Amino acid sequence: MLQDMPDHPRGARSGRLAGKVAVIGGAGSVGPGWGNGRAAAVLFAREGATVLLTDRDKDALENTADQVRAEGGTVRTDLLDVTEPDAVQAYFTETAARTGRIDILVNNVGGSRPGGAVELGLDDWESQLRTNLTSAFLACKHVIPVMRAGGGGAIVNTSSCSGLRWTGAAQAGYAAAKAAVIQLSRVTAVQYAPDGIRVNTVVPGQLHTPMVEARLAGQRAGGDVAKLLAQRQARIPLGFMGDGRDTAYAALFLACDEARFVTGTEIVVDGGMTARCD
């Protein structure tokens, strides 16, 4: 029982993240429903964190913030393109000065483009690396000094099952970048463990997030959302599709003090998809 384990501290207020300051990148959503970032923002706020949300889409960002406020959560929003080095550095410098510390970082920015090594243009390849990998690198680069000064923290990076195996479509840039996110997390975890900084990765599978309707159905099923959902669900042994809330719950565990002995590893959230052979 947790109440019998005083070495697992909890904040003075209720909630697994009570008293924590959490930065969540990519907290908007491309449409209605539970994207990974939006779900993490609402869930972390429910668990007592002050959530500092960033996105480059003002309307999507404010929509998420409104959902947090509707539940009584404490939230601040900032427009930020996490692929711009100077902007990312300035954001973390200003945020640390404003809040005094950052306890949690969730790197959630990402997006895929179709195409294998032959079909994918060089510009798209570089864009995929910048969006999915460099964004996480830059955020880690500038939050780690803040966390070190504060005595530690937790970083949760978001990868994809496409970084582990073929998931039904050629998307070489996305897959390569998301695989690299996992190794970035592992290397960073080992290097900064003596500073009390834990770094882990959530690896979502084929979830039903707003991205399905907004982009993926057009890329892969001629705009037929039902067809794409059926194709994706057929790959999942559990027989149903999760959504961004499933990713958020995994991120919550990795971010909270209950995971104090967990670093340099991954939680795969895919209904068993990557475990099957076919």
Give the residue numbers marked as catalytic. 174
Helices (H) and strands (E) in the chain, counts: 10, 7
Rounded distance between C-alpha atoms, residue 88 and residue 105, angstroms: 13
DSSP state of 114: -
User: Which element (helix H / strand E) includes 158?
Assistant: strand 153-158
CA distance 242 to 247: 9
Q: In this structure, what DSSP letter does residue 31 have? A: S
Q: Is 35 helix (H, G, I), strand (E, B) or coil?
A: coil
In Å, what is the CA distance from 90 to each residue of 72, 126, 203?
29, 24, 29
Tokens of residue 269, six digits:
């959230």
Q: For residues 197 and 103, what is the distance between their CA atoms, to the nearest angstrom?
A: 9
Cα of 35 vs its chain's centroid, Å: 10
Displacement of CA 275 from its chain's centroid (Å) = 22
In 10 A of CB 278, how many CB atoms?
A: 3
d(CA 4, CA 109): 38
